Amino acid sequence: MSSDAQNENKDKLEPVLNPILPKATEILFYTGNTLTLFKIMKKTNTSVTEEITEYMSTMLQTMRTEGNEKQFQNQTYVKFLPISDEATVASNQNGSSPDNEQLTREDLKFSVKIFLRSLEPEVLSHTIDTVLQELKENYLESVMISLPNYGAQITLNEFLPLWRTVEDYIDKQKILSAGVCDFMLPLFSDLCDACKHKPYANQINLGVCCSIPEELNKYVKEHNIQLLTHSDPIDVISDSDFQQVLREYCHEYDAMNWKPLSIVRYNSVIANRGIIKTKGFFVYAKRELRMN
């Protein structure tokens, strides 16, 4: 690395003397369409955790180098929004495909996976509303709900308030279909019996469950439910992961007490062609400020 590059990196990581986010109790990182941001990625084949934290780091680094810290001094809800060129993002969102073919909304299918680190329905509602608002969409074709921190420990009574929230969005036609992740029998069958809108799919982590239990496989076939697989980590972003990224670019106070409550991975695909049009992430976190 050249001395100029080293000095540049040193300047970017210069210690912060005062908090940048002194009043913030909520924070949102929205990457925008990461297909337009491939140049910022330092390495390929990263885990989803590494990918998200690198995008977060890039957003914070941009804030520091552009001297935008003052705008956050009085904000209680801080939003870090896409850093890519707005015209490029708008073009990608408004229907121009890579080969300049004009696409309508009906040509696209939006799939969203929400990793919830909270059982509060309000967090789920806030997350779905944020995705719809920032993507400027009226509805999503598919939403998967994952509770990586709770896993097999969750009970039906704990999960039902979350599913009722999802059902409300389905009733309003803001979500067309929804599924769950890592539900085993009898919890999955109990959910199907108790809900108005049954999950269209159950996504199982084969890294945790080496093979699909025969009883679960039989149940989904009998009820025309898709059985999918995934390899996402048990915890996409831990409290310490999130706080460490902030600590590297902000004041120590700015990193204190944050808890990521929801992480969203989304993509849009050109229907019937399997071509990914957009993809990206949302990370929403909250904290309680310590009173002096």
Q: Let me know if residue 90 belongs to a domain.
A: no
Whole-angstrom distance, CA of residue 52 vs CA of residue 281: 7
Count of the separate structural domains present in the chain: 2
Are 24 and 113 in the same domain?
no
Decide if 100 is inside a domain.
no
Same domain membership, residue 153 and residue 261? no
89 located within any domain:
no
Q: Answer with the one of 213, 235, 257 that is the final residue of a domain.
A: 235
Is residue 202 domain-resident?
yes
Residue 91 lies in a domain: no
Q: In Å, how far are 73, 123, 146 from 202, measured between CA atoms?
A: 43, 22, 10
Are 254 and 188 members of one domain? no
Amino acid identity for residue 89 in this structure: V
Q: How many whole angstroms separate alpha carbon 63 and alpha carbon 56?
A: 11
Do residues 77 and 65 both lie within one domain?
yes
What is the mean pLDDT of the segment spanning 54-64? 93
Are 132 and 65 part of one and the same domain?
no
Q: What is the pLDDT averaged over residues 217-236?
A: 94
**So what's the pLDDT on residue 69?**
85
Same domain, 213 and 154: yes
pLDDT digits (tens, 9 = 90+) for 5-46: 434 444 555 778 899 999 999 999 999 999 987 555 555 557
Query: pTM of the prediction?
Result: 0.89
Please state, rounded to an integer, the average pLDDT across all residues of the chain: 87
* Residue 158 domain-assigned (yes or no): yes
160: domain CATH number is 3.20.20.100
| Residue at 115 is within a domain | yes
Q: What are the distances in angstroms from CA 6 to CA 13, 58, 124, 228, 267?
A: 11, 17, 42, 46, 36
* Residues forming beta bridges with residue 26, ordered by sequence position: 77, 286
| Domain end residue (candidates: 235, 256, 276) | 235
Task: Give a yes or no: residue 99 inside a domain.
Answer: no
Domain edge (last residue) among 216, 235, 254: 235
The answer on 155 and 200 residing in a single domain is yes
Q: Which residue has the higher pLDDT, 291 or 224?
A: 224
Domain range enclosing 186: 107-235
Q: Is the pLDDT of residue 240 over 90?
A: yes
Average pLDDT over residues 79-108: 64
Is residue 156 domain-shared with residue 244, that is, in the same domain? no
- What would the two tokens of residue 94 be? 């408004």
Examine the domain organization and report whether 112 and 207 are in the same domain. yes
Which pLDDT band, with edges at 50, 70 and 90, does 145 fall under? very high
Q: What is the largest CA-CA distance in the chain?
A: 65
Phi, psi values for residue 256, rounded to 5°: -75, 135
pLDDT band at residue 67 using 50, 70 and 90 as cut-offs: confident
pLDDT score for 149 = 73
Same domain, 145 and 224: yes
Question: Are 212 and 268 in the same domain?
Answer: no
Instruction: State the DSSP code for 18.
Output: S
**Alpha helices per DSSP H over the chain:** 3-12, 48-65, 86-93, 121-135, 156-171, 187-194, 214-222, 239-249, 252-255
Both 128 and 245 in one domain: the answer is no
